[in-house]
Amino acid sequence: MDTKVINGNRSRPDHPPGCFEVVKGVADWLLSRTDVRPRIGMICGTGMGSVPGMINVRNEFAFEDIPHFPVSTVKGHAGKLILGFIGSVPVMCMKGRAHYYEGYDIAQCVLPVRVMKECGVTHMMISNAAGALNENFQVGDVMIMKDHVNFLGLAGVNPLRGISDDRFGPRFLLTSRIYDKEMRQMAKQAAKELGYESQFHEGVFAMVGGPNFETVAECRMLRMMGIDTVGMSTAHEALAGHHCGIKVFAFSIVTNKCDMEYDSGYHISHDQILASGFRMELMIRMWISTIISLLSAELEKTKS
Ligand SMILES: O=P(O)(O)O[C@@H]1C[C@H](O)[C@@H](CO)O1
């Protein structure tokens, strides 16, 4: 049997999903098919669908055509990986994502993030659609993440679980500064410059496993815990990005309020969430474009 030792750990036979050799192989596969050397990686969830339209596209791949890439089965998630430029900034952009609730192993869910790192990405922008727990948030608002509660991670459904490979990052990771302060500042500055300030907040996101929406008791618990928005993605991607040294920025697009009252008759559906996200696409596009202009000066400084 082919077993080998990585970091003092005896690995399982063959390559476990998302191990370094697989990630490197996928990155090499992509880099041999494009001349783009991306610096910014983007994961576009619901409501960020117009952002890929800003890209001067050089190459586009369907997720299903990329070896080992998890394929999205959710309506509204196109499942395309785009390489190109926004202005002069080389980007690698996922139009849609695969979620843990679709049945993937958590390591498979973050494979694209690790591939981004191996392709040269230094900064990452992640978005999701989320329900608002904070009473001051309205549908159509945006919440910049300053922190998260990763319920899956806390329960051990963690992409850092398993054999520790230093080529990704350390065994024991400090996560108290997971969301990059400079990028958060740029995002707030961009919202101010565009006159969007009243719709933008900073707060704490909670990732739950989904795919069901939360019960009233769960929503009340989350609010009591000081959580502002809740959704079914992002925290594991942010964790994997931070682990491998990428500067991470993430935000929630508030597509609905959470149901806090029994027998309220309030209804949440994926189609409503898609419609709310769609209404915000123009604003998000302008905002992301402004953040990227602000970021491009910093990227110039660290060009290799
Ligand atoms: O990929 P995101 O997190 O934006 O997708 C949202 C959250 C759930 O996956 C689903 C619920 O409607 O859409």
Convert the pLDDT of each residue in 230-286 to its tens digit: 999 999 999 999 999 999 999 999 999 999 999 988 899 999 999 998 999 999 999
Cα separation, 243 vs 168, whole angstroms: 7
Spell out the residues 6+ positions from residue 65 whose beta carbon is closer than 8 angstroms to its own.
Answer: none
Q: What is the pTM of this model?
A: 0.94
pLDDT band at 75 (very low <50, low <70, confident <90, very high): confident
Could you tell me the residue ranges of all domains in the chain?
14-162+174-260+268-299
The pLDDT of residue 109 is above 80: yes
pLDDT of the residue at 15: 66
In whole angstroms, give the CA distance from residue 183 to residue 247. 8
Q: Ligand 1 center to residue 7 CA distance, Å? A: 36
User: Closest ligand 1 atom to the C-alpha of 77?
Assistant: 1
Residue 77 has pLDDT above 90, yes or no: no
Model confidence band, residue 14 (pLDDT cutoffs 50, 70, 90): low
For residue 189, the CA-to-ligand 1 centroid distance in Å is: 27
pLDDT of residue 78: 86
Please tell me the residue having the least CA distance from ligand 1 atom 12.
270
Q: Specify the residue for token string 């070896």.
A: 67
Both tokens assigned to 107: 């390591």
Q: Is the CB of 236 under 6 A from ligand 1?
A: no
In total, the chain counts a number of residues equal to 304
Task: Examine the pLDDT at 4 and tell me if it is beyond 70.
Answer: no
Res 10 pLDDT > 50:
no
Token pair, residue 50, equals 């117009």
Q: How confident is the model at residue 2 (pLDDT cuts 50, 70, 90)?
A: very low
Q: Report residue 128: phi and psi, to 5°.
A: -145, 165
Instruction: Name the residue of 42, 44, 233 to mutate for ligand 1: max ligand atoms within 8 A of Cβ.
Output: 233
- pLDDT of the residue at 13: 46
Is a pLDDT exceeding 70 seen at residue 6? no
CB 111 within 8 A of CB 26: yes
- 10 Å Cβ neighbour count for 60? 16
> What pLDDT score was predicted for residue 204?
98
Do residues 269 and 163 touch, judged by C-beta distance below 8 A? no
Return the structure tokens found at 55.
């890209």
Calpha distance 16→36 (Å, rounded)? 29
ipTM score: 0.98
pLDDT tens for each residue of 155-200? 999 999 998 999 999 999 999 999 999 999 999 999 999 999 999 9
Atom of ligand 1 nearest to the CA of 270: 12
Q: Is 96 in the pocket of ligand 1 (CB under 6 A)?
A: no
Closest CA to 165 of 1, 24, 280: 24
Per CATH, the number for 14-162+174-260+268-299 is 3.40.50.1580
Atom of ligand 1 nearest to the CA of 45: 4
Report helix, strand or coil for 83.
strand
Q: Is the CB of 230 under 6 A from ligand 1?
A: no
72 by DSSP, 3-state: which? coil
pLDDT in tens, 284-302: 999 999 999 999 988 988 8
* pLDDT score, position 3: 38
- Indicate whether residue 97 lines ligand 1 (CB < 6 A): yes
Residue 301: predicted pLDDT = 84
Residue 285: half-sphere exposure toward Cβ, Cα within 13 Å = 13
Ligand 1 near 273 CB (within 6 A): yes
